[in-house]
């Protein structure tokens, strides 16, 4: 469980005539993580399988039909008969033809709507002038000017300078100032010059045609026509959606089938090839290697060659973690951070053991644990993609319940008064008030526990660091780089015990100092100057675990404030005030639970990523992605 799946580097050499069968079998087996071949003088890159262009073309069409809809295979009723490209092309073409016909109708409707809306905006300008549409009819002796202008008063004065025979209508109801000017025909050129000087933009009145009466009447008529056309458009949209809805199951089946076909068709682009052979190189789990070879030999009548390739020192081997059902959800935290390299310990099991304990210790309230457990359980159904994280958090809730019982805390209450009698909840540790006397100082017991946990956790990281060093560089490096820290701690412990008078051996100080000096030399030889710099840091890292107690004290402190300082005074008043108290309790504890999820989660994950991983984990592994697996 602490090591990832062991991998074999396998090369498969086949004739081109067997390529299609080999690809199909590899896709079915879903075990080979193919290594992409780089073109060389001796070996070219493989060619895509026939029909790849047709598959790609159909996929584009289907993606267009699906749009943003869910493309997942779940809840699809699969067809019993085998699919083929011709059948898919015919069905897709039929669907496209129906939809295209409806869309063409919608296009015509949109053009019609655009014209009607443009006409409506012109009539709206005339409507602000409150004149019958007949007023704008052409006359032999009168010129008509309608449009927008900057300044009506200046225009009026200049018109009066050339003639008194004109009628000017003006409106400021629109964004622009609108005018309708009726003036004798022989003054037309002078009038145009005046209007031009004042930013006049003329409205072409040809659209009026045979219209009569007030513009508002025509506007109402056009609005009715727009509503009818809009309804036609909505009906067509619904018909298009119905066509898609009726065929959505088939379309999704085609989409998934074509995706698989595209993957198989493009697979040779990762292969090496000569005129007559193809060469496939990839990674396969050692536990699956013999089965893979046997299956491929069967479908090729043993006309195939396999070669086991040696792993190079710094070769990037894909990582397939192998953990049981309990640990597997905690792989989420490794993917969130970085996967282990091939020769590293997989910390998923360690996170499974310690992350929920840290979380539960910090939140540490039995009823909070029950509430969060129900919350995470219900969210799995709502957010199935987050099931690994939510299952991990459910484990945290179990530990929260356990520590809540240990601390005797239930929604922040440590005791209850019933009929004047005070009842204390049973507990093993009093988190709020429990303390230990250390060297004459009373220190919260949860802070002491946090420091002890830090000591154990950091030393555990050194142990796994030693395992990694041994696997990668041998026993000497493991001792010098990691186990030397144990020698340092042992020397420091002896010196401290002597100073405290616990050890009476007279030479203890000298022995302890000698161990410290020896360990520092070992650390330098194993890790260089960086190791020496880490000596003070290891103590600060251990003290960082005090947050386990501090965050927990903050959480229970807030719960006590909500219960005793905010809600209790209203409960004591009785009557309707009890409802106020209930509201305060609900709101206060909802906030505290939210903080109780976020805070312990972030602090716990920090203790693993920063303090714990720093001494043994580098990561950087690439995930195992076998051909055929989504």
Q: How far is CA 523 from CA 457, 480, 550, in A?
A: 20, 6, 33
Rounded to the nearest 10 degrees, how much is the dihedral formed by the CA atoms of 192, 195, 201, 204?
A: -40
The verdict on residue 338 lying in a domain is: yes
Distance CA 172, CA 149 (A): 10
- Based on the fold, state whether residues 433 and 487 are members of the same structural domain: yes
User: Over the range 326-349, which residues count as b (16 or more CB within 10 Å of their CB) and which as e?
Assistant: ebbbbbbbbeebebbbbebbbbbb
Kindly tell me if the per-residue pLDDT of 80 is higher than 60: no
The pLDDT-based confidence of 423 (bands split at 50, 70, 90) is confident
| CATH number of residue 139's parent domain | 3.30.70.2750
Same domain, yes or no: 59 and 186: no
Query: What is the pLDDT, as a whole number, of residue 231?
Result: 92
- Pair (161, 252) in one structural domain: no
Residues 599 and 478 in one domain: yes
Q: Rounded to whole angstroms, how far apart are CA atoms 479 and 459?
A: 14
Residues 508 and 467 in one domain: yes
Q: Is residue 120 part of a domain?
A: no
**Residue range 596-606: average pLDDT?**
95
| Residue numbers of the domain that contains 421 | 333-615
**253 assigned to some structural domain:** yes
**Site of tokens 């710099």:** 533
The answer to whether position 219 is within a domain reads no
| Inside any domain, residue 454 | yes
Rounded to 5°, angle at Cα 621 from 617 and 624: 140
Residue 630 counted as domain residue? no
Residue 312: CB atoms within 10 Å: 9
Per-residue confidence (pLDDT) for residue 509, from 0 to 100: 78
Per-residue model confidence (pLDDT) at position 174: 53
Looking at the structure, do residues 311 and 416 belong to the same domain, yes or no? no
- What is the tens place of the pLDDT at every residue in 345-402? 999 999 999 999 999 999 999 999 999 999 999 999 899 989 999 999 999 999 999 9
99 with 239, same domain: the answer is yes
List, as one string, the DSSP characters of 206-226: GGGTT--S-HHHHHHHHHHHH
Mean pLDDT over each residue of the chain, to the nearest integer: 88
Q: 198 Cβ partners below 8 Å, 6+ apart?
A: 149, 150, 151, 154, 155
Residue 621 lies in a domain: no
Least Cα distance to 444 among 454, 435, 456, 432 occurs for 435
Same domain, 466 and 562: yes
| Residues 384 and 509 reside in one and the same domain | yes
180 phi, psi to nearest 5 deg: -125, 115
Q: How many domains does the chain have?
A: 4
pLDDT score, position 72: 56
Quick one: the chain helix, strand, coil %, rounded to 5? Answer: 65, 10, 25
Extract the tokens encoding 540: 């600060």
Q: What is the pLDDT of residue 496?
A: 80
* pLDDT of 78 strictly over 80: no
Give helix 508-543 / helix 445-473 axis angle, nearest 10°.
Answer: 100
Q: Looking at the structure, do residues 258 and 406 belong to the same domain, yes or no? A: no
CATH code assigned at 280? 3.30.70.240
Domain presence at residue 118:
no
Q: What is the 3-state secondary structure (H, E, C) of 231-269?
A: HHHHHHHHHHHHHHHHHHHHHHHHHHHHHHHHHHHHHHH
Going by C-alpha positions, the residue among 397, 282, 388 that lies closest to residue 335 is 388
As given in the structure block, the two tokens for residue 420 are 């004047």
**Domain match, 310 and 338 both:** no
Same domain, 255 and 297: no
Question: Residue 176 above 70 pLDDT?
Answer: no
Q: Are 181 and 168 in contact (CB under 8 A)?
A: yes
- Determine the pLDDT at residue 76: 58
pLDDT digits (tens, 9 = 90+) for 528-548: 888 888 888 888 888 899 999
User: Can you give the pTM of this predicted structure?
Assistant: 0.74
């Amino acid at each position: 469980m602490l090591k990832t799946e062991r991998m074999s580097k396998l090369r498969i050499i086949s004739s081109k005539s067997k390529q299609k069968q080999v690809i199909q079998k590899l896709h079915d087996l879903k075990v080979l993580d193919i290594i992409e071949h780089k073109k060389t003088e001796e070996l070219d890159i493989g060619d895509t399988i026939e029909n790849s262009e047709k598959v790609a073309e159909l996929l584009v069409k289907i993606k267009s039909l699906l749009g943003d809809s869910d493309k997942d295979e779940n809840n699809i009723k699969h067809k019993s008969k085998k699919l083929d490209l011709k059948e898919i092309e015919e069905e897709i073409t039929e669907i496209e033809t129906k939809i295209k016909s409806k869309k063409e109708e919608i296009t015509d409707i949109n053009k019609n709507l655009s014209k009607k809306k443009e006409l409506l905006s012109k009539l709206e300008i005339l409507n602000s002038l409150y004149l019958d549409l007949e007023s704008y009819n052409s006359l032999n002796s009168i010129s008509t000017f309608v449009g927008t202008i900057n300044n009506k008063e200046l225009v009026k004065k200049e018109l009066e300078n050339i003639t008194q025979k004109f009628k000017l209508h003006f409106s400021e109801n629109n964004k622009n100032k609108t005018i309708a000017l009726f003036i004798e025909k022989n003054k037309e050129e002078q009038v145009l010059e005046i209007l031009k000087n004042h930013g006049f933009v003329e409205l072409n009145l040809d659209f009026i045609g045979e219209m009569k009466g007030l513009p508002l009447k025509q506007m109402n008529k056009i609005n009715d026509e727009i509503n009818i056309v809009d309804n036609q458009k909505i009906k067509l949209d619904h018909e298009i959606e119905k066509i898609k809805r009726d065929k959505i199951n088939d379309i999704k089946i085609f989409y998934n089938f074509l995706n698989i076909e595209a993957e198989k068709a493009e697979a040779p682009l990762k292969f090496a090839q000569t005129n007559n052979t193809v060469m496939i190189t990839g990674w396969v789990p050692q536990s699956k290697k013999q089965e893979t070879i046997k299956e491929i030999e069967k479908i090729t009548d043993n006309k195939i060659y396999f070669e086991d390739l040696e792993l190079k020192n710094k070769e990037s081997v894909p990582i397939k973690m192998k953990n049981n059902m309990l640990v597997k959800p905690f792989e989420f935290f490794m993917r969130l951070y970085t996967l282990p390299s091939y020769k590293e310990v997989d910390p998923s099991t360690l996170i499974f053991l310690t992350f929920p304990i840290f979380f539960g210790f910090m939140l540490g309230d039995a009823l909070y644990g029950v509430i969060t457990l129900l919350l995470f359980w219900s969210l799995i159904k709502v957010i199935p993609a987050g099931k690994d994280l939510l299952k991990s958090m459910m484990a945290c809730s179990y530990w929260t319940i356990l520590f809540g019982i240990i601390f005797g805390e239930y929604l922040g209450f440590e005791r209850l008064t019933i009929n004047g009698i005070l009842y204390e909840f049973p507990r093993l540790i009093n988190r709020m008030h429990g303390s230990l006397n250390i060297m004459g100082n009373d220190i919260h017991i949860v802070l002491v526990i946090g420091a002890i946990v830090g000591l154990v956790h950091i030393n555990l990281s050194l142990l796994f660091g030693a395992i990694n060093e041994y696997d990668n560089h041998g026993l000497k490096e493991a001792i010098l780089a990691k186990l030397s820290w144990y020698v340092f701690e042992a020397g420091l412990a002896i010196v401290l015990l002597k100073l405290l008078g616990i050890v009476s051996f007279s030479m203890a100080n000298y022995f302890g100092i000698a161990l410290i000096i020896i360990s520092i030399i070992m650390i330098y030889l194993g890790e260089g100057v960086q190791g020496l710099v880490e000596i003070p840091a290891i103590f600060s890292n251990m003290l960082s675990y005090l947050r386990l107690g501090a965050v927990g004290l903050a959480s229970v402190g807030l719960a006590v404030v909500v219960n005793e300082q905010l809600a209790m005074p209203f409960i004591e008043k009785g009557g309707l005030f009890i409802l106020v108290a209930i509201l305060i309790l609900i709101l206060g504890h909802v906030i505290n639970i939210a903080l109780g999820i976020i805070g312990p989660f972030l602090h716990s994950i920090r203790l693993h990523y920063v303090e714990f991983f720093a001494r043994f984990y580098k990561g950087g592994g690439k995930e195992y992605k076998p051909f055929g697996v989504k």
